[in-house]
Amino acid sequence: MDLPKAKVVIDKRERGFASLFSGLGADVEEKMLEVGDFLCSDRTVIERKTRDDFESSVLDGRLFSQLPNLCSNFENVIIIVEGERKEDGSLSRAALMGAYATVMTDFHASLFFTRNEKSTAELVYAIARHEQLGKKREMRIFAKRKTHTLAQTQRSIAEMLPMVGPSMAKKLLMHFGSLEMLFRASEQEFLQIEGMGEKKAKAIYRTIREAYNPEDD
């Protein structure tokens, strides 16, 4: 009897992991993720770093600029450090311990160590199964941006439309005045916006007006 499958959404830049997850029985989807490397549920994101990349990201500050973004989008943030530590690593043991402490105490992120890609895949899939099959959590593909004002929330919703970035989202809201009026607009009305081509107008109109098909979800 086949076991129920859990889904793992993989960032397309994490090459080689699709086959590893498929071999474990996972339902795999590859996307360009805004934050994180693996999504396991609506609340859990995993960032994978090799040992060398972890140490270099501490040195150049990249890790500590990534963590606020991860934590503002997901309730559970997990950092996986993959591979054995080299004696001639970039950081001293004291500096490494300090980085680990910062990750866990300042950002409240979980920290795990794995030997190789196979071990990483096994851990990620175990988390996905726990979240989706044990806790009945759903999957969220897109990051949920942290917003501070009503206008920022409105803009973040407009940005979810196809081929719409921050600049176009502002143009749409300024032209129509509200999300309600934007969602009522015709394809021809979208074409009145500066920088709006026919392809983009058609994609936005179709997204808003066509019926939801659960079989495509």
CATH of the domain at 177: 1.10.150.20
Are 112 and 200 members of one domain?
no
Helix (H, G, I), strand (E, B) or coil at 172: helix
pLDDT the model gives residue 217? 73
Residues 104 and 22 in one domain: yes
Helix (H, G, I), strand (E, B) or coil at 10: strand
Terminal CA-CA length for the chain: 26
CB 94 within 8 A of CB 127: no
pLDDT band at 215 (very low <50, low <70, confident <90, very high): confident
Kind of pairing, strands 27-31 and 76-82? unpaired
pLDDT bracket for residue 1 (50, 70, 90)? low
pLDDT recorded at residue 125: 97
Q: Is the pLDDT of residue 147 over 90?
A: no
Per-residue confidence (pLDDT) for residue 2, from 0 to 100 = 65
Same domain for 86 and 193: no
Residue 197: give the domain boundaries: 150-210
- Are the C-beta atoms of 151 and 117 separated by less than 8 Å? no
Chain mean pLDDT for the chain: 91
Predicted confidence (pLDDT) at residue 81 exceeds the cutoff of 70:
yes
Tokens of 121: 């895949």
Q: Where are the alpha helices (DSSP H) in 60-92?
A: 62-73
pLDDT recorded at residue 139: 82
Q: Is residue 179 part of a domain?
A: yes
Interatomic CA distance for residues 71 and 13, integer angstroms: 21
Residues 96 and 67 in one domain: yes
Q: Among all chains, which residue has been given the structure tokens 């190789």? A: 116
Same domain for 155 and 121 = no
List all residues 6 or more positions away from 51 whose beta carbon is below 8 Å from its beta carbon: 81, 82, 83, 84, 85, 86, 89
Share of residues in the chain with pLDDT > 70 (%): 95
Report the number of distinct structural domains present in the chain: 2
Residue 73 clears pLDDT 90, i.e. is over it = no
pLDDT at 193: 95
At residue 156, the pLDDT reads 84
DSSP 145: -
| Whether residue 121 is found in the same domain as residue 22 | yes
77 and 169 part of one domain: no
Contact 190, 205 (CB under 8 A): yes
Q: Which of 134, 169, 201 delimits the end of a domain?
A: 134
Which CA distances in Å does 114 have to 17, 23, 107, 134? 14, 18, 21, 23
Task: Identify the CATH number of the domain in which residue 55 sits.
Answer: 3.40.50.10130
Q: In this structure, is residue 201 part of a structural domain?
A: yes
Residue at 95 is within a domain: yes
Residue 2 domain-assigned (yes or no):
no
Per-residue pLDDT band at 52 (split at 50, 70, 90): very high
Strand boundaries in 21-118, DSSP class E: 27-31, 38-39, 44-50, 76-82, 110-114
d(CA 92, CA 83): 17
Please indicate, yes or no, whether residues 29 and 127 belong to a single structural domain of this protein. Answer: yes
Q: Are residues 114 and 181 in the same domain?
A: no
Residue 217 falls within a domain, yes or no?
no
73 vs 27, higher pLDDT:
27
Mark whether 83 and 125 lie in a shared domain: yes
Residues 20 and 84 placed together within one structural domain of the fold: yes
| Residue at 113 is within a domain | yes
pLDDT at residue number 159: 85
Same domain as 160, residue 117: no
Instruction: Tell me: pLDDT of 152 over 90.
Output: no
Q: How confident is the model at residue 199 (pLDDT cuts 50, 70, 90)?
A: very high
What is the pLDDT at residue 62?
94
